[in-house]
Structure 1
């Protein structure tokens, strides 16, 4: 008995040291978080100026992991999501092997409003979490909310749609790096649109440096012919929301389609009402924000997060400096009906 107990002592010491290391990392994260908040407040960061009906900072802090280990090939964020510096060379070069602090008031990709709204959808989900990202790029919100949902113990399904073929490859690469199999993830190489058809999508030379390409929807036969001849555009299939979600309920729909969001909301409102529990939208003008509010409020949706687009004025004209964010919760009866049937 004494011999067996002696053999366990080194194991107990290792476990105690691991616990000490984890607590130290947790304390460091909280300290960095407090410093960021203090610095942002002192500088009057615009990213602290949002309207929210839930505890945004508490939501972000609650999902922050304290068991993270750096990976020499990736930048690791506060949720444990690994991002290849190759995706954003001008931003992340030289940062592989680091763990990022909490995004308060913001990090290189998003601010309090967007992080909190996306994680709010995870908090509202139970048993499973199904997320769809329109204009998914490298799968940012698929990976981030998927990782948070998995940490919560939910079954996860990730669906993205993206027009740039290299970004599609990035998304699959990122999902594999973060432990999401292709059985539970799907990226559509195409464009989200109000109705089925053909879209023209720009061809870019450096996918890691171009993340704001805007498609041409409902292209005419002349536009298609000219675009094909120029080599600057590719023809892609355009998909309505019902096809993208496969007529099944969705816990989070993230929309960032470079200025087409209000048109999409208007055209897809029946499917949004029926299938989508929560929407997070990146907005690209104050006019777009007003149109979305008008449409969704009229349908009984509840606005839970709002941070308006940040603009500059140039010769009397508004110019977008930072996209806005809106987080909407489906409060209508239609979604509850389809969710019960699913």
Structure 2
């Protein structure tokens, strides 16, 4: 059966960009898997998936992303000027900070990277990955919190293992916070507003958003900040409903969809379940005129 990851639509050539940013002299590090772009990932992060080695190719997809997502992130790098700023919401081990940062570095751009993550263990993995891949503390910042449109308090589930798909509860009341503390099942974290991550000069070249189904809510709530400060968005979409809301919200605000691979479903399951999350790459025509 043909891979579902070939079924995207784009206004640019994502495969050409992926080939352009291949790191040909990628090296093997003990205990790591080195991907197509030269980014080393500790195998301990995904012990059931990764083995020590060097990735030969990443098309149409590898263990975590596909043509559409790689292409969209690299499109943001390509469109940026000599200074590249990327922000990753729900950064986990810092996947897209590392990949986009490595690509921008190979293109001779200066780098400013930021990530937001609710899980403290994953945040430590991100610090480790950034150091392993040669990023200095002056080039990145990591926030332990929950990405949001405004300040506030969120509850984040305490994981019982290597879980990478946990979702927060936003705007927790005092009563909910008290209950969370008593249950021991949740951690109380600050909500980190997107506006706090806008660098001096006011431009984020790449905003990568994968926040377990909260994408459309955040886009709607933070649309003014996005319009004024974000040049390109790569959004992991967790349902067709989310994609529909983005189709409604963003074009009206001057955003152009440049690459789209829809979320796909297990249609034989009742109720239907998402088989693979979708990917959108949106260009802000206010900041990046065509």
CA distance in 1, matches of 2:194, 2:268: 36
Q: Does 1:290 align with 2:244?
A: yes
Once the two structures are overlaid, the 10-residue window that deviates more, 258-267 or 307-316, is 307-316
How far 1:216 sits from its partner (Å)?
Answer: 0.1
Q: Structure 1 or 2: larger strand share?
A: 2
- Match of residue 278, structure 1, among 213, 217, 232: 232
Q: Does 1:133 align with 2:88?
A: yes
SS at match of 1:212: coil
SS at match of 2:54: coil
- Cα contact 1:64–1:102 (8 A) shared by 2: no
Q: Does 1:210 align with 2:163?
A: yes
TM-score by length of 1: 0.82
- Cα contact 1:122–1:148 (8 A) shared by 2: yes
Equivalenced residue count is 288
Greater RCO (CA < 8 Å, at least 6 residues apart): 2
- Cα contact 1:63–1:79 (8 A) shared by 2: yes
Q: Structure 1 or 2: larger helix share?
A: 1
TM-score by length of 2: 0.96
How far 1:205 sits from its partner (Å)?
Answer: 2.8
Provide structure 2 residue ranges, at least 5 long, that are not aligned to the other structure: none
CA distance in 1, matches of 2:261, 2:230: 21
Alignment of 1:235-250 (within 5 A): 235-246=188-199, 248-250=202-204
Alignment of 1:88-107 (within 5 A): 88-92=46-50, 95-96=51-52, 98-107=53-62
RMSD of the TM alignment (CA)? 1.4
Q: Does 1:110 align with 2:68?
A: no
Alignment of 1:14-163 (within 5 A): 43-92=1-50, 95-96=51-52, 98-163=53-118
> Which runs of 4 or more aligned residues in structure 1 lie more than 6 Å from their structure 2 counterparts after TM superposition?
none
* Map of 2:218 onto structure 1: 264
CA distance in 2, matches of 1:69, 1:256: 29
Which of these two proteins has the greater Rg computed from alpha carbons?
1
> For 1:245-293, what per-residue CA distance to the aligned partner results, in whole angstroms no more than 9, with x for missing partners?
2462110000000010000000010000000010000001100000011
